[in-house]
Structure 1
Amino acid sequence: MKIYIETHGCTFNQADSDIMAKMLSETHEIVQDMADADVIILNTCYVKLPTEQKMITQIRNIKMKYPDKKLIVGGCMVEVDPERLNKFAGDDCWIGPHKVDKINDVVDKAIKGEVVHEYGKTNLVKAGVGIKSSNSLIHILQICEGCEGQCTFCCTRLARGYLVSYPIDVLVEEAKDAISNGCKELQVTAQDTACFGNDTGESFAELLNRLGSLEGDFKIRVGMMHPKSLKGKLHDVIDAFKNNDKIFKFVHLPVQTGSDKVLTEMNRMHTLDEYKYIVNEFRKEIPDISLATDIIVGYPTETEEDFSETLDLIREIKPDIIHISKYMHRPGAISNSLDEIDHKVMKDRSHRVNDVKSEVMLENNKKYEGTTQRVLIIGEGSTGGYVGYTDTYKNVIVDNAKIGTFVNVKILEGKRTYLLAEVIQ
């Protein structure tokens, strides 16, 4: 049968789709156009309300446009909100993120006209040689699933469950296989990479050191680290970043708010001083490191003073990348019991934080003008040219380059979200 897989959301979700595609390709044909498929797998994201609405719209569109094709709904929506999903796709097959190893069985039953809803938590290890296609420039290395956080606004933990870390030896073998097959960017991925090993006794820093010691010309991008999870292991992790040239000098440390009061109410389990200490320690040991963070605007208990503290924090720590979300209730989230703030106030705050974001990101990128950088070229730009990343994971656009190679470039201009450059010999 011909199967089309559409993926939404994070890199972890993309890796789940890669696993399903690898398993299905042994007996079926994976196609790149939905119109050509007999079976459509929609791997959903459910992290925000607009995403939820997008998923429901896409389910409706697929069922209306292709009533004769078999639809299988997968991803976080299946675990987070099965009651709502049942209203729109109760007569279709489902597969939860913990059951991706059952995809062949679900597809076979769907083809026969059976309706099966395969979901629920497991301790499935999504790592190992051959579990995903390794013939890719970018390889997503899932190191653990779930987290140890209890953030009041989050529904992702309902989908992904408690922490399940995968064995270091298995992860290293998967990485070696991917690198030997042409991988140039290894994306170390989890809901919280820094909590890796807390359940098994293995060390996150050791994993990074093992990956960084592998032979080959490639780079490692470390995914999001929850600040609370770095307590007790911070300097070991910093040393791993500092001592391994293959690791991008880039950290994603979500803070969510600049108010200690709201941090407590969000149950983030770290203080603002602890967050600043983590950032400062990374910058002290690796001065040119890039910082990404996340901000939630309009948490139900956020006052104007709290919001002002968030603006002050952004101006103080000057992140290189800032992901901004407007607060919205999510299914199963603890904060659902709180009243949302006025949406006009939320919209105003969102505009104001975006203005500060633009100022800070442009200021950071302007500092790169005139410098020479080593860049990994990873693909073509959406509007022309080629896209690559510096050692600090700065997005670079050049006119001409070969995909999958490292080139030296001179930075001509720092834009808000990227660097414009030319290749030099």
Structure 2
Amino acid sequence: MKVYIDSYGCTFNKADGQIMAGVLNENNIDLVDNIDDADVIIVNTCYVKLPTENKVVYKIQQLQKNFPDKKIIVGGCMVEIDPEKLDSIGPNCSWIGPHQLNKAADVVKQTYCGEVVRECGFSKESKVGVPKVTDDSLIHIIQICEGCLGACTFCCTRFARGPLNSYPISDIVAEAKEAIENGACEIQLTAQDTMAFGRDTGEKLSTLIKEVANLDGDFRVRVGMMHPKNILNDVDEIIDAIKQPKVYNFIHLPIQSGSDKVLKEMRRGHTVDQYIEIVNKFKKEIPDLTLATDIIVGYPTENNDDFLKTVDLLNEVKPSLIHLSKYQHRKGAISSSLKEIPHQTMKERSKFLSKIKGEITKQENEELLDSHQNVLIVEKGSKGGFIGKTDSYIPVVVEDVNLGEFVRVKITHATATYLKGIVE
């Protein structure tokens, strides 16, 4: 029996795929890299945005059409968010929800034998310290908690991931230590909201970051998305943790809108001024900080004045990375009961923000021309060369280096999305 796993979406979901692969490997079930060689196909779905939903729905439909003799299992967020639609497009598909990964081997075996198995529902099962199989030994993902404390009106992911479930710091540090000893040079701490970590157990994200960063070895730590609402009372401690030499000078702090009115209607739980205050504190203490943020363009209640406030905010804080999403209704989300703004208006606003995004990142990258950067080489480039990350998590393309090594690089070229450099 041979299994092919196809994962979509975020870093957290990618790790779910690695856990399923680990469970199958422990049960002597073969994993294959080519879908043609598989007897069973697992589609590990993401459902955060409509384009991704459309992509996974199309994939499931095409697999059934093109491989009628292969068994199909659907995993990921779609299983919990939209089971009705999943049942309609794949009535003969088995399911495995994101909280049932430890049952992956049983689901595969039963499905292979012709049964339709559907393992769903929530569980407190830990996702730390379990066997994982990954095609990248250099970058190791650790899920530090699952679920969130938010009530964002536009989000459907929280229906799949459930209430907050934080994992013990000791277990996370043990997994990180083992990964580093096995050759990992980048540890990614991920969650739906890393700042929610420990709110249910009494532990703190800042403590976790420091304990991982103080492990022996040459590596870097990347901290995943943090909700501004949950960082408000811990800004100084998180800054101190990010300042650790082995931690990337990088934060992902989504704002979604520059309008307090829209933020309130989104139930974000913080104001624009609070967000700016957080960012200013970080930039004062960490001058070479890379700030990533998320913007939703065209939330149903967003008027032109709200949009212009978002423009003003971006021009003021100048995020190094801006993830833009055009608003679209999501299954079960509160905002889905509202009337969408005209799509042409949304398209025009998105185009305007895309231009600002390009201008900000190009200017920031150009300021690094002729600078000398410490770079960790993490992957091969798709068009040749190698891709590394600076201490501020900015991608740099270089030649003639080895994966997993730290090199000193002079920056010779800058674009809106990456740098190029030569090894000194």
- The interval holding the TM-score normalised by the smaller chain is over 0.9
User: Which residue identity is paired with 1:4?
Assistant: Y
Q: Which residue is 1:388 aligned to?
A: 388
Separation in structure 2 between the aligned mates of residue 58 and residue 129 of structure 1, nearest angstrom: 29
| Contact persistence 1:2–1:38 (CA under 8 A) | yes
Separation in structure 2 between the aligned mates of residue 25 and residue 67 of structure 1, nearest angstrom: 25
| Contact persistence 1:135–1:178 (CA under 8 A) | no
Unaligned 5+ segments in structure 1 are none
Residue by residue, what CA displacement relative to the aligned partner does 1:68-89 show, whole Å, maximum 9, x if unpaired?
A: 1110000000011000100011
1:153 to 1:225, Cα distance in 2 relative to 1, 3 A: same
Separation in structure 2 between the aligned mates of residue 134 and residue 47 of structure 1, nearest angstrom: 24
Please show how residues 22-421 of structure 1 align to structure 2 within 5 Å: 22-26=22-26, 27-128=28-129, 130-131=131-132, 136-242=137-243, 244-421=244-421
**Aligned with 2:420: secondary structure?**
strand
| Contact persistence 2:21–2:132 (CA under 8 A) | no
Separation in structure 2 between the aligned mates of residue 143 and residue 279 of structure 1, nearest angstrom: 24
1:130 to partner: Cα distance? 3.5
Separation in structure 2 between the aligned mates of residue 280 and residue 101 of structure 1, nearest angstrom: 43
Separation in structure 1 between the aligned mates of residue 131 and residue 95 of structure 2, nearest angstrom: 24
Residue by residue, what CA displacement relative to the aligned partner does 1:308-348 show, whole Å, maximum 9, x if unpaired?
A: 11111111101110000000000000001110000010001
**Aligned with 2:99: secondary structure?**
helix
**Aligned with 1:130: secondary structure?**
coil
1:168 to 1:134, Cα distance in 2 relative to 1, 3 A: farther
Residue by residue, what CA displacement relative to the aligned partner does 1:61-109 show, whole Å, maximum 9, x if unpaired?
A: 1111111111000000001100010001121100000101110110111
Separation in structure 1 between the aligned mates of residue 205 and residue 399 of structure 2, nearest angstrom: 38
User: Which residue identity is paired with 2:278?
Assistant: I
**Aligned with 1:323: secondary structure?**
strand
| Contact persistence 2:41–2:73 (CA under 8 A) | yes
Q: Which residue is 1:4 aligned to?
A: 4
Separation in structure 2 between the aligned mates of residue 48 and residue 407 of structure 1, nearest angstrom: 38
Residue by residue, what CA displacement relative to the aligned partner does 1:144-188 show, whole Å, maximum 9, x if unpaired?
A: 000000000000101101100000001010000100000001000
**Aligned with 2:410: secondary structure?**
strand
Bigger Cα displacement from structure 2, 127-136 vs 305-314: 127-136
RMSD between aligned residues: 1.0
TM (normalized to structure 2)? 0.98
| Contact persistence 2:248–2:392 (CA under 8 A) | yes
1:60 to partner: Cα distance? 0.8
1:385 to partner: Cα distance? 1.3
Percentage identity across paired residues of the two chains: 54
Separation in structure 2 between the aligned mates of residue 283 and residue 58 of structure 1, nearest angstrom: 43
TM (normalized to structure 1)? 0.98
Separation in structure 1 between the aligned mates of residue 41 and residue 301 of structure 2, nearest angstrom: 42
Separation in structure 1 between the aligned mates of residue 66 and residue 423 of structure 2, nearest angstrom: 46
User: Which residue identity is paired with 2:255?
Assistant: V
State the 4+ residue runs in structure 1 displaced beyond 6 angstroms: none
Separation in structure 1 between the aligned mates of residue 100 and residue 111 of structure 2, nearest angstrom: 15
| Contact persistence 2:297–2:324 (CA under 8 A) | yes
Separation in structure 2 between the aligned mates of residue 129 and residue 97 of structure 1, nearest angstrom: 15
| Contact persistence 2:374–2:390 (CA under 8 A) | yes
Separation in structure 2 between the aligned mates of residue 410 and residue 251 of structure 1, nearest angstrom: 24
1:3 to partner: Cα distance? 0.6
1:231 to partner: Cα distance? 1.9
User: Which residue identity is paired with 1:202?
Assistant: E
| Contact persistence 1:297–1:346 (CA under 8 A) | yes
Separation in structure 1 between the aligned mates of residue 77 and residue 9 of structure 2, nearest angstrom: 9
Separation in structure 2 between the aligned mates of residue 111 and residue 420 of structure 1, nearest angstrom: 48
| Contact persistence 2:5–2:41 (CA under 8 A) | yes
User: Which residue identity is paired with 2:320?
Assistant: D
| Contact persistence 2:128–2:172 (CA under 8 A) | yes
